[in-house]
Every structure is written in C-alpha cells, then in structure tokens.
Amino acid sequence: MQRTYTLDELAKFLKRHPKELKKLADNGRLLGRKHQGEWIFALADVVQWMERELTHIDDDARAGMENAVASVAEEDEDVAFRDLIYKNAITVSFPARTRSSVLSEIAKMAEDAGLLWDAAQMSQALAEREEMESTALENGVAILHPRRPTPNLIAQDFLAVAISRSGVPFGGPHGTLSDVFFLLCCRSDVCYLRSLSRLSRILNVPSTLEQLREAESVDEVHDLLINLANILD
C-alpha cells in the first residue's frame, strides 16, 4: 500500500512548519487530496515536489532535507550512496542524440550491467515520467527516474551515469541542451529521496559538473562521485 501522510505527519517528516505546507497545498504547488476537510499526501506526490525543491534550495537545506528523510528510513533502506555507483553503469561517450534514445540507451546500459531486468519496460516508465514534466535542469543535468518505485524491474538500487559530448535536446529550460544524465532507480521512495538529496549536494559542490564533463574515463567519473560522497558523509 502506498505510504500517505497527514499534514502534521508530513511536516514532522520534512521538518517544515505545517502552515507552510498547507499554503503550498492550498496553492496547488504540493499535490494532495482532502479527506473530511483534512489534507492527505501520497509519498509519490511528495517526491515530485521535493525534486523541484532540491533544485532551488541551498546546500544546508539539502542536508537538512536528507537528514529528515533519513530519520524515517527503515533499517533495510539505509543504503549508502556510494553503494549505488557501479563502473559498468557509467559511460563518458554517450551516443544518444534524441530524448527517446537517451531513455532506451541508458536503460540498456543498466540492464547490461545486471542492474535492471527489463530495459524496454524501464525505458517506457522513464518516458511516462518525462511526459509529466521534464527532469532536465538548466545546468545541463537530467536526473531520470520512473514516477514510482519499480521493484519488479530493478535488480538492486543503483545510479547510472551517462555523459554526452555534444548535448541532447531533452526539454531543458530555455532550450538548454542536456549532456550529463543520471538514472536513479530505487526500490522505495525513501531510498530515492535520500539518494536524490545526496546527488543534488554532490552536484552543488563547485567544479563537480566541470570535472564530470572533462572526464576521459569511467574510472575518473566513478572516483569523483565516490570521493565526494565520502566527503559529504
């Protein structure tokens, strides 16, 4: 059953004031539904809102959000970010040139690495998520993921990385091309939120994107992300 929160429960979960969240819900920025006059929030909708939040808040707030999510994580969801990164799910010469080929190629890379059971089905799930709202950011990064956890498709939680040398029209703001793609797949929303927050903090470290774009080998990308994850632990 999908996890849901009352307004007070969500405020405690996110360590935000209930009045702030109520205003967001009343204005339609935070999706929820009314039950007997009270707001109820599905975790999948909270995930979508937090994705937007993580692109507009400072690093201290990102860390606070990560800690808030960690405080409600089950013990079996306590996966270290570094454990999501596999060398065979990284490429520094991504050949995709269109949005659809980005989705199919990165899913196929994850399948070939033994991290996915069905690349075609994952590619479709990613396309459905992109139809809702592009995951492309104005800094040229796109963080791909299915809308909801897909445990039947995922062999294990993982982060795949694909770097394009030319950039791809992927729906970025103002026509910005995307050249750094992450595929973040987790079997639970809690793991996804924690990992998204950590990735967001890593990308906010000065020169990280520049180093990713200049990386000439898989080892360089892998070591950079692992080192930054260790620093932020």
| Residues 3, 20: Cα–Cα separation, whole Å | 21
- Domain tally, the chain: 2
Give the model confidence (pLDDT) of 54-88 as tens digits.
665 555 555 555 555 555 544 445 568 999 999 99
The verdict on 45 and 143 lying in the same domain is: no
CA distance 180 to 136: 10
Is the pLDDT reported for residue 149 higher than 60?
yes
For residues 198-225, give the mean pLDDT.
Answer: 94
Helix (H) or strand (E) holding 23: helix 18-26
Q: What is the pLDDT of residue 65?
A: 58
Residues 19 and 112 in one domain: no
Mean pLDDT taken over the chain:
86
CA-based nearest residue to 65, from 83, 46, 42, 82: 46
Q: Is there a single domain that holds both residue 181 and residue 150?
A: yes
Residue 8, in any domain of the structure: yes
Angstrom distance (rounded) from CA 124 to CA 142? 17
Q: Are 168 and 96 in contact (CB under 8 A)?
A: yes
Q: Residue 47 belongs to what domain range?
A: 4-54
Same-domain check for residues 22 and 99:
no
> Whole-model pTM?
0.80
Segment among 8-17, 90-99, 100-109 with least mean pLDDT: 8-17
pLDDT tens, residue by residue, 180-203: 999 999 888 778 878 888 888 898
